[in-house]
Structure 1
Amino acid sequence: MNRQTLRPWERIRNSADFTRCFKAGKRKRLPGLTVVYAPNSRGYRRIGLSVGRRIGPAVKRNRVKRILREIFRRNKTIFPDGYDFVFVPREDFLEIKWEEHIRHLRDAFYSS
């Protein structure tokens, strides 16, 4: 059964994990979004968000974070197990439709 909930252990919260991912990880640049990913020592996938102030005011940044968490939660099977994924959105993230983001992520990771 595919659980569509986002469990607490599926989030990257530790700054050391973010640093490891940014230093040792690979990057995929998608329209409006950069995904940094690195293998982890766990058997499951995790998500981290890095939304900078250049995105806009706090309301806009929080909306971007909610959208990214929801995309990850609903489409976990796109991402391979055993990897940490850090999403770094760009200024034009909200200009791209939700379905387009999912299609780009599927093209980038599902076949990998």
Structure 2
Amino acid sequence: MRYESIVRNTEFSRAYRRGKSYVSPFLVTYVLRRKRGGVRLGITTSKKIGGAVQRVRARRVIREAYYAMGLNEEQSVDLVFVARTATTRVKMQKVEKAMRAHLTAAGLLSR
């Protein structure tokens, strides 16, 4: 399951402004529905998370949790995941559980 990346700052800003947010201790998810097809994914880790090693680990954990869920690719949506400080200290399964709860609440996954 491949996804298109969100890379421009304006696209991240649009998701933050117009998207619906879901918060957990490990992850913040912004969901913004679009008109064009395909899932676009953006992952944000700030320097508050820690050094470069912790930030890369947080991104890797979030990416693997996304892959493990198997989201339907026919939907038109931008997903922005923001790592929190606890993301670097937990296993991928906890992040996946939080992500699954967020996307179910957004109506992207069935229960």
Smaller-chain TM-score range?
Answer: 0.7 to 0.9
1:45-84 mapped onto 2 (5 Å cutoff)? 45-77=39-71, 81-84=75-78
For structure 1, which runs of at least 5 residues remain unmatched after alignment? none
For structure 2, which runs of at least 5 residues remain unmatched after alignment? none
Count of matched residue pairs: 106
CA distance in 1, matches of 2:62, 2:102: 16
Question: Any idea what the Cα deviations from partners look like across 1:39-69, whole Å, max 9, x if unmatched?
Answer: 1232111110110000000111011111212
CA distance in 2, matches of 1:78, 1:71: 15
- The ranges of structure 1 where at least 4 consecutive aligned residues each deviate by more than 6 angstroms after the TM superposition are none
CA distance in 1, matches of 2:43, 2:58: 10
Once the two structures are TM-superposed, the CA of residue 108 in structure 1 deviates from its matched residue by 2.4
Q: Does residue 1:96 correspond to 2:90, yes or no?
A: yes
Question: Any idea what the Cα deviations from partners look like across 1:19-56, whole Å, max 9, x if unmatched?
Answer: 11111111000221111111123211111011000000
Q: Is the 8 A contact 1:78 1:105 kept in 2?
A: no
Aligned CA-pair RMSD: 2.0
1:13-32 mapped onto 2 (5 Å cutoff)? 13-32=7-26
Identity of aligned residues (%): 26
> TM-score, normalised on structure 1?
0.81
| Higher normalized strand content (fraction of residues) | 2
CA distance in 2, matches of 1:90, 1:49: 11
